Structure 1
Amino acid sequence: MDLTATLVALAVAVALCGLAIVLDRRPYVPGRIWRFPSRLVMAVSLLAVLALAAHLLSLLTGRPFSGRTGF
């Protein structure tokens, strides 16, 4: 992935996380059967944001992100 694709994917993941937060804060309406699984979408998008931020950091610095172990 190049820098442009990483930034676009990061923006989409942040927007999806924001949408999931807005949908999660809606009040519960009794009698509605189906609810959107916003917390699951929020968790997956947060994982994507963390992974894309690490990838962006490695693209900007020029060094691969190795974590604490150094591998």
Structure 2
Amino acid sequence: MDLLTTLIALAAAGLVFAFARRQDRKERLPGNVTLIPYTMIQIFAVVTCLVLLAHLVTLVSGVPFKGRFAG
């Protein structure tokens, strides 16, 4: 994945998080249950952002991430 694609995906994940947060904070009438788990969507969006940020660091620095147990 190149730099532009990574930035677009990072922006999309940020927008998904912002939309889910806005929907989660919306005031609802007592007794109404939401059918979409916006909290879980926020968690997935944050994890996606963290992975894409790590990938962005490897793209900018030019050094691939090897991990803890790489030789």
Smaller-chain TM-score bracket: 0.7 to 0.9
SS for the counterpart of 1:65 is coil
Q: Distance in 2 between matches of 1:20 and 1:2?
A: 27
Stretches of structure 2 lacking an aligned partner (at least 5 in a row)? none
How far, CA to CA, are the matches of 1:70 and 1:57 in structure 2?
A: 19
Q: Which ranges of 4 or more aligned residues in structure 1 deviate by more than 3 Å?
A: none
Deviation sequence 1:6-65 (CA, Å, 0-9, x none): 000000001101111111111232243443210010000111000000000000000012
The normalised TM-score by structure 1 is 0.86
Structural RMSD (CA): 1.5
Quote the Cα distance in structure 1 between the aligned partners of 2:41 and 2:59. 26
Name which of structure 1's ranges 1-10 and 35-44 shifts more when overlaid on structure 2.
Answer: 35-44
For the pair 1:48 / 2:48, whether they are aligned, the reply is yes
- Report the number of matched residues: 70
Q: Is the aligned partner of 1:21 residue 2:21?
A: yes
SS at match of 1:64: coil
- So what's the TM-score if we normalise by structure 2? 0.86
1:30 matched residue in structure 2: 30
Percent identical among aligned pairs is 36
